[in-house]
Amino acid sequence: MKTILMLGGAALALLATPAMAQDGDRAGDIQFKLLGTYVAPDGKITDINVNLPNLPATTQTKANDNVTPTIAIEYFVTNNVSIETIAGMTQHDVDATAGLPVGAELVSDAKLIPATVTAKYHFDLGGLKPYVGAGPAYFLWVADDPGAATLPLGVTKTTLSNELGLALQAGFDLPINDKGLGLSVDVKRYFIDTTAQWFVGNTLAIETEHKLDPWVISAGVSYRF
């Protein structure tokens, strides 16, 4: 993965132009963003490791989409290169889409903090400032409850594993005045999985591997100082 990111950075450097200089020296600037974020995860089951209730082999799931506020903080290392992190929390249910009654709730109110740090390369198209980026992401599940459809099976606890993955990013910033205020649009694609476990008392009854790989689309206002 490190080699892929290094090659990607080299390719971006070859494509970049020195036009950023006309926007002044941004090295050392901090940009704060307040965004509305649409989170569209997958949630597909890729493996069933434990299946005491003998769920159908065709059982399949989907995590619901959500909209949530997000804060992004970005530091410009040079005119063209910045480091960005985001803060926010999103909540999802996981429902059956096949093998069980469609819509059967398997996980309820799963709350996720998608801790993400990306390195970004900025281009200059006059007023428009597009960028691309990539970096590590750690999905931290801070709460989750058994879904309504699992309670009749005697399920008392559900857990989702915290996992490390990769985020790819693209977007643009558009200044709207010379005081640092602007608009921002950002798109991220995460590549990350989780392991879901359902317990009956202390007994592990069901364990499944899930592909999340969410699209995360944000838009809002920015302020650079």
Per-residue pLDDT of the chain (225 residues; tens, 9 = 90+): 443 334 344 333 433 434 333 345 788 999 999 999 999 999 899 999 999 989 898 999 999 999 999 999 999 999 999 999 999 999 999 999 999 999 999 999 999 999 999 999 999 888 899 999 999 999 999 999 999 999 988 999 999 999 999 999 999 999 999 888 999 999 999 999 999 999 999 999 999 999 999 999 999 999 999
How far CA 179 is from CA of 48, 182, 225, in Å, comes to 54, 9, 8
Domain count of the chain? 1
Helices (H), the chain: 2-15
Q: Residue 124 has what pLDDT?
A: 86
Q: Residue 27 has what pLDDT?
A: 87
How far CA 86 is from CA of 112, 138, 151, 153, 208, in Å, comes to 13, 12, 35, 38, 29
- Could you give the CA distance from residue 218 to residue 116 in angstroms, rounded to a whole number? 14
Number of H helices, E strands in the chain: 1, 14
**Half-sphere exposure of residue 37, counting CA atoms within 13 Å on the CB side?**
25
Q: Residue 24 has what pLDDT?
A: 58
Token pair for 114: 């998608």
Domain assignment of residue 126, given as a range: 2-224
For Cα atoms 81, 85, 87, give the angle at the middle one, nearest 5 degrees: 155
Q: Can you give the CATH number for the domain in which 215 is found? A: 2.40.160.20
Beta strand ranges found along 41-89 (DSSP E):
44-51, 60-63, 66-76, 81-88
